[in-house]
Amino acid sequence: MSKKLVVANWKMHLNTSQASLLLHRLQERTRIHREVEIVLAPSMLVLQPLSLQIDRRKFRLAAQNAYYKDEGPYTGEVSFTMLQDLVHYCIVGHSARRVYFNETLEEVREKISACVRNNITPILCVGETKQEKRLGEGRQVLHDQLVTALSNLTAREVEEMVIAYEPVWAITTFDGIMAKPYDVQKSMDAIRSEIKELYGKKASERVRVLYGGSVDDKDVGGYLEIEGCDGVLVGAASLNYFQFSSICETVYQLSIK
Ligand code: 13P
């Protein structure tokens, strides 16, 4: 059985000292588990200082975004190349980027390619909006997002990446409501069958698929029980060290059951 993955997306919260304090508290409360991989995605600003403080036996770092060109006159941007020595993962195509910054399917594809090219594992976020769900377009949206984002990758590269199913209607940022594990199961199955069709059975079985959207310490267990769910991507609840460490502990307990 593969390791469970828990990713904390701190979004645009916490300055350097706040982030350092949160990491300190998490390090105090988190035990080292071989069965669970815990990844922290702080803002770009604090990646460097946290990389010096982090206990690498307990945590890995992820970026929340990066620019797809490796270098050049792109004022204000940070490239995947620059992040190479700092992070293991990068979140790509998060709904906040698609919704607030109009990130297109093609831009997400370029970022996924750049991420892989620079030896960083992408955590590709996919998911339908409330409107798309209401119109019954969920499956089509997943199809379009996956086909485009992955189109430059080989089956082997897809196997090694992470896909997070994050229905936009379930994310706290967008006043989300809690998704029922039954509905999440259907979408996760849809994701794996898309991958199977595009990249074959092996890739569809090996790619790690996470769930994200209003996950907290009370409902994390329900999502973890979904067949084929490899972990969770946690937003708001990850800013609270008490809640987040209890999420990690629950994931650990379930993984050794
Ligand atoms: P919430 O857990 O705050 O709903 O955020 C989910 C998310 O967007 C994580 O990337």
> Which tens digit of pLDDT belongs to each residue from 202-247?
999 999 999 999 999 999 999 999 999 999 999 999 999 999 999 9
Residue 1 has pLDDT above 70, yes or no: no
Ligand 1 in reach of 167 Cβ (< 6 A): no
Using the atom order of ligand 1, give the atom closest to the CA of residue 215: 2
Binned at pLDDT 50, 70 and 90, residue 33 comes out as confident
pTM as predicted: 0.97
Do residues 105 and 149 make contact, with C-beta atoms less than 8 angstroms apart?
Answer: yes
b/e per residue 115-128 (b: at least 16 CB within 10 A): bbebebbbbbbbbb
In the predicted model, what is the mean pLDDT of residues 129-149? 97
pLDDT > 80? residue 172:
yes
* Whether residue 240 has its Cβ less than 6 Å from ligand 1: no
For residue 145, what pLDDT is reported?
98
172 lines ligand 1 (CB under 6 A): yes
Ligand 1 binding pocket mutation candidate from 40, 214, 239 (most atoms within 8 A of CB): 214
Q: What is the pLDDT of residue 138?
A: 97
CA of 171 to the centre of ligand 1 (A): 5
Q: Which residues contact 214 (CB under 8 A, 6 or more apart)?
A: 170, 171, 172, 176, 177, 178, 179, 235, 236
Q: How far is the CA of 76 from the centre of ligand 1 (A)?
A: 25
What's the pLDDT tens digit per position in 78-102? Answer: 999 999 999 999 999 999 999 999 9
In angstroms, what is the span from residue 128 Cα to ligand 1's centroid? 14
Task: Look up residue 163 and give its two tokens.
Answer: 């896909």
Confidence of residue 166 (pLDDT cuts 50, 70, 90): very high
> So what's the pLDDT on residue 174?
86
- How far, in Å, is the centroid of ligand 1 from the Cα of 252? 20
Atom of ligand 1 nearest to the CA of 164: 10
Residues β-bridged to residue 38: 6, 59
> Residue 159 — left, alpha, or beta (φ > 0 → left; ψ -120 to 50 → alpha)?
alpha
* Cβ of 212 less than 6 Å from ligand 1: yes
What torsion do the CA atoms of 211, 216, 222, 224 make, to the nearest 10 degrees?
Answer: 50
Please say if 94 is a catalytic residue. Answer: yes
Give the closest residue (by CA) to ligand 1 atom 7: 235
Q: What's the chain's average pLDDT?
A: 96
Contact 39, 5 (CB under 8 A): yes
Catalytic residue flag (residue 33): no
